Chains A and B, each alone.
Chain A
Amino acid sequence: MGDRTFRTNEKKAAAVATTSRDGPDLQDALSWYRQMVIARRFEEETERAFRRGKIGGYLHVYSGQEAVAAGFLAEIRPDDIFFTSYRDHAHALFRGSPPGAVMAELFGKAAGLARGKGGSMHLFDVPRGFYGGYGIVGGHIPLAVGAAYALRYRGGDQVCLCFMGDGAINSGAFHESMNLAGLWGHAGLCPLVVIVENNQFAMGTSLAQSSAITELARRFDAYAIPAERVDGMDFFEVRAAARRAVAQARGAGRPVAVEALTYRFSGHGAADVFQPYRTKDEIEQARRRDPIASLEARLREAGLLDDSRVSAILDEAEAIVQDAVRFAEESEAPAPDALTTDVYGDGA
């Protein structure tokens, strides 16, 4: 394991520590801290496996953004569903997909979450309500709107989460979908929560260069969708916003949006080595706001973590990730006949 300590912004941690939280929330936060540590360690390992040639294609890692997916997935029920883009590994892990099956998918193995047919960008775990990672920026947004409609049409009170990046906000798909969501929300038929994971860059193009307004929550005003902006590096803040948004969407069957300000520590994808669009100093500054470190500081303050417990969690994460790699390495490649299955069903 490379970096065993997560650096934090002391002032920020102190501010969080003075906010009153109830006990059960903190206990639960401790379990999410553990999951975020596992996800971070998992992503570090995927980058290594990519360099070793074990993972092909594209690889987009989530390091730095963990509090966003964790905060939202902590607030939905097992029968709720979600969609996301191609930066999707942590979402699967947080929802309980076996790390071995996630890693096996990245390794292109039959035991992978999508039988080795989707790869890093197309993780799916439908029994757990994960309706997929998608590779065309913005292309999954209308799917989530229709899925939300279907949930309500069928009479349940489930919600659908739609994670998207800041880059997707300029796509026509976003605007057409939000207009539909707003319209269907008027009729109480769109229990959708849109989460804009604003990590400041659409690939290598900064938000200021790509969006005429940089406060992305305001984009939702045009579609009668209430939206708020939160610090996406702060698990508690994200989680509180998620709780409000999910309750509203579930209760009224109307869409709600949250813009989470976050930052990715790695390149856009594994091929983005030099990152000429940002400075090392900027990354360093962002790392001082590491969401895992700030959550850790908060849990230390509350007496739920100390050095030995942190060390035990790191060791456990290491073991889980190494098991996942071993499972992926030892799994079989898809059989040749898998090439032509899953193109059509039996119906027609």
Chain B
Amino acid sequence: MPELSYRDAIRSTLIEEMDRDTAVVLLGEDIGQYQGTFRITADLLNRYGPTRVIDTPISELGFVGAAIGMAMLGLRPVVEMMTWNFSLLAYDQIVNNAAKIRYFSGGQVNAPLVIRGPNGAGVQLSAQHSQSLEAIYAHVPGLHVVVPATPAEAKGLLRTAIRGTDPVIYLEHAALYAMKGDVPDGDFRLPFGRAEVVRHGRDVTIVAYSRMLHVALEAAETLAAEGIEAEVINPRTLRPLDRTTMVESVSRTHRAVVVQEQWLPFGAAAELAASITEGAFDLLDAPVERVGGADVPLPYARNLELLALPHAEDIVRAARRTLYRETPAAGGRSDA
């Protein structure tokens, strides 16, 4: 099993799928001549030419909409969103067209496109370039929302996305591009809607995805040193969401902490918590704890940015609270 970076896992999957199927085309800003802002598409223009690696003008609405039209006609476009923050310019196309065309056409057409790019914070890009926007996409029926946390997931989920029949919101994390890990060879695919139990434990279930998975695993190490065995679950996809694995775990641990990187109100962690509560209410020995970022636009200054994002210590404290080994935070949150 070769070791690849998260970046190379994505890039090599694009190459494999483009070699396999000429219907796969890439669109995005600066993906060709410039080689891609995060170099995911480096050298691909040279390999596949400008009709398959399409450098677009800065017009997210236009090229996402065009990619939807291409998908309706049988192509398999993979759109690079330079960062997901820019996708708000294309939100109407994604929500009103891509997500709904199959439905309002009575099943006559579909839009099998993948939109991929970095999501989330951590590298001092401040308010307009650091948002974690998974909830606004996971809210919408007709979309799949994919949140790979490792190089293997990046490959396995991207291949499933490209070969699927529906629009996929594929959320990378910029802070993970350099991360290395083993990636299975060959036609490796990971199914949507299937969570992974990353670490087994009997005392508390922690659910985390994307970069937060790694923070949760760090927290689990700390907890283990205190004699608390945490079970860590990575949903891998938020839509579809594998509720069964979470509920099954909580029915053994009786305690749950759910984690997301940013704003808690109406966010992904709320959906995770609700799923656990609905599925295992009688089996819970403590309220489900949510861990997330500060309810503010992301700041620039490094110290403030660090304050705005969750850290392993926040997850550790939340896990202790579910075991009644830590007093609840005084005064509540600023958004309470």
* B is a partner of A: yes
Q: Say yes or no for A279: interface residue by CB 8 A criterion.
A: no
Give chain A residues whose Cβ lies under 8 Å from the Cβ of B112: 345, 347
Contact with B along A98-118 (1 / 0, CB 8 A): 000000000000001111111
Q: Say yes or no for B129: interface residue by CB 8 A criterion.
A: no
Known: A124-B109, A153-B75. A187 touches B104 (CB 8 A): no
Q: Say yes or no for B106: interface residue by CB 8 A criterion.
A: yes
Chain B residues 104-147 with CB under 8 Å of chain A are: 104-110, 112, 141-142, 144
In the complex the two chains form, is B25's CB within 8 Å of A153's CB?
yes
In the complex the two chains form, is A117's CB within 8 Å of B103's CB?
yes
Please classify how large the interface on chain B is, using the bins under 10, 10 to 19, 20 to 34, 35 or more.
Answer: 35 or more
In the complex the two chains form, is B105's CB within 8 Å of A179's CB?
no
In the bound complex, what is the Cα–Cα distance between A83 and B65 (angstroms)? 13
Nearest Cβ on chain B to A345's Cβ, whole angstroms: 3
Tell me the count of chain A residues lying within 8 A, CB to CB, of chain B: 50
Give chain B residues whose Cβ lies under 8 Å from the Cβ of A307: none
Selected interface stretch from B4-12, B92-100, B148-156, B212-220: B92-100
In the complex the two chains form, is B75's CB within 8 Å of A345's CB?
no
Give chain A residues whose Cβ lies under 8 Å from the Cβ of B96: 135-136, 139
Query: Which residue of the partner chain, among A114, A153, A176, A187, contacts B105 with CB atoms under 8 Å?
Result: A114
In the bound complex, what is the Cα–Cα distance between A143 and B166 (angstroms)? 16
Q: Say yes or no for A226: interface residue by CB 8 A criterion.
A: no
Number of A-B contacts (CB under 8 A): 161
Query: Which residue of the partner chain, among B57, B64, B101, B108, contacts A142 with CB atoms under 8 Å?
Result: B64
In the bound complex, what is the Cα–Cα distance between A154 and B102 (angstroms)? 22
In the bound complex, what is the Cα–Cα distance between A175 and B77 (angstroms)? 22
In the bound complex, what is the Cα–Cα distance between A150 and B73 (angstroms)? 6
Contact with A along B142-182 (1 / 0, CB 8 A): 10100000000000000011011110100000000000000
Query: Which residue of the partner chain, among A81, A112, A135, A173, contacts B65 with CB atoms under 8 Å?
Result: A173
In the complex the two chains form, is A115's CB within 8 Å of B69's CB?
no
Chain A residues 128-151 with CB under 8 Å of chain B are: 131-132, 134-136, 139-151
Query: Which residue of the partner chain, among B74, B105, B144, contacts A150 with CB atoms under 8 Å?
Result: B74
Query: Which residue of the partner chain, among B63, B65, B74, B163, contacts A141 with CB atoms under 8 Å?
Result: B65
Chain A residues 80-107 with CB under 8 Å of chain B are: 81, 83
